[in-house]
Structure 1
Amino acid sequence: MVRITLPEGLEHDLYGYASRNHAVPIMAAAQAFSSSVYRDSGLSLREFEGARMRTAQINGCQICRTFRAARDAPTMFSVGGETPGRMVTDNGPPPDEAFYDHVASWRSASDFSDRERLAIEFAERFAEQPKVLSADERFWARMHAVFNDGEIVDLAHCVAAWVGLGRVAHVLGFDTVCLVAPATERAA
């Protein structure tokens, strides 16, 4: 349910309406942060998508759970119909649907590399138990064994964007209208 007053006829443009009419500078900054995550992350696309999907599952954001970076990010972050020169979607092959189906069961699923599994675990713990995560020396030893410091900072900021902005979308009901129609809807 949408938690702000929306003029009749703008149900399809909920996020756009809010960004033009409420907390405009803050919403612009949030959009810039989100765009930067998709443009500037150096994580592999599978690491990125594993962490993003786990965050979406925890947040409950409908948009984020159906979003696929390889399919949807170029359209969502295009400016005047032009996609950015570089995006995370350039960082390796996209995951298949089985990958997304197994993210919630990352502990036992066999289709994740060590880095992918750690990225998913990081996202889960960041979203659910940040104080425990920050103090878990065994976890940090495992992270530092496969991620360098720059990659850890990259992952932390990606997850921060998804946790914060995904929760805003869910709590305010902005996730009831997708910003980018899935490929099947665009083709119809």
Structure 2
Amino acid sequence: MIRIDIPNEHAANPYGYAAQAHGRQLMASADAFSKAVYQHSILSLREFEGARSRIAQINGCIVCQQFRAARDAPSMFAATGVRPDHLVCDNGPAPDEAFYAAVSQWRISPLFSPRERIAIEFAERFAEEPKMIADDEDFWERAHALFSDTEIVDLAHSVAAWIGLGRVAHVLGFDSVCLPFAEAAQ
């Protein structure tokens, strides 16, 4: 259920309406932050998608759970008419649907590499127990063994974007009517 008043003529795109009618500067900044994550991340696509998918599950955002970066990220930029020189979907092979189905079982699934497992663990713990992960020396030893500081900063900011913006979409009910990017771009 959408939690703000949306005129009937904008019912199919509540997020777009809100971006034009409410908090325009905030929403434009949120859009820029979201797009920066997809445009500038150096993580492999599978690491990125593992962490992103886990946040989508935790947030409960329907659109985020249906989103696939390899398929949908280019559509995020379609309105500009120009594909950026780089998108995260350029960072290696795309995960298959078995990968996405196993994300919630990241601890026991054989589908994930050690780096993918750390990225998903980081996302989950960042969302659910930020105080505990901040002080977990064992985790940080494992993370630093596999990721550079630059990659950790990239992952942290990506996760922050997904948590915040995915929760906005879910809490305001925008995810109850929005179509996946691939369909919306047609």
Shorter-chain TM-score bucket reads over 0.9
Other-structure match for 1:131: 131
Deviating more after overlay: 85-94 vs 72-81: 72-81
User: Residues 35-50 of structure 1: matches in 2 within 5 Å?
Assistant: 35-50=35-50
Per-residue CA deviation, residues 123-158 of structure 1 (Å, 9 max, x unaligned), is 000000000000000000000000000000000000
Aligned-pair CA distance for 1:76:
1.5
Other-structure match for 2:168: 168
Distance 2:69 2:182 in 1: 11
User: Residues 99-114 of structure 1: matches in 2 within 5 Å?
Assistant: 99-114=99-114
RMSD: 1.4
Deviating more after overlay: 98-107 vs 8-17: 8-17
Preserved CA contact (<8 Å) 1:30 1:165: yes
Other-structure match for 1:15: 15
Distance 1:152 1:179 in 2: 31
Preserved CA contact (<8 Å) 2:38 2:87: yes
Runs of 4+ in 1 over 2 A off after TM superposition: 77-82, 177-183
Preserved CA contact (<8 Å) 1:123 1:159: yes
Preserved CA contact (<8 Å) 1:56 1:162: yes
Distance 1:175 1:142 in 2: 35
Q: How many residues align?
A: 186
Other-structure match for 1:157: 157
* Pair 1:74 & 2:74 matched: yes
Per-residue CA deviation, residues 89-147 of structure 1 (Å, 9 max, x unaligned), is 00001000000000000000001000000000000000000000000000000000000
Per-residue CA deviation, residues 32-81 of structure 1 (Å, 9 max, x unaligned), is 00000000000000000000000000000001000000001101223433
* Pair 1:32 & 2:24 matched: no
Preserved CA contact (<8 Å) 2:118 2:143: yes
Residues 166, 152 of structure 1: CA spacing in aligned structure 2 closer, same or farther, 3 A cutoff? same
Q: Give the unaligned 5+ runs of structure 2.
A: none
Q: Give the unaligned 5+ runs of structure 1.
A: none
Deviating more after overlay: 5-14 vs 115-124: 5-14
Aligned-pair CA distance for 1:179:
5.2
Distance 1:181 1:130 in 2: 30
Distance 2:29 2:10 in 1: 23
Aligned-pair CA distance for 1:178:
2.6
Letter in 2 for 1:144: H
Identity %: 61
Distance 1:40 1:180 in 2: 22
Aligned-pair CA distance for 1:176:
1.4
| Length-normalised TM-score, structure 1 | 0.95
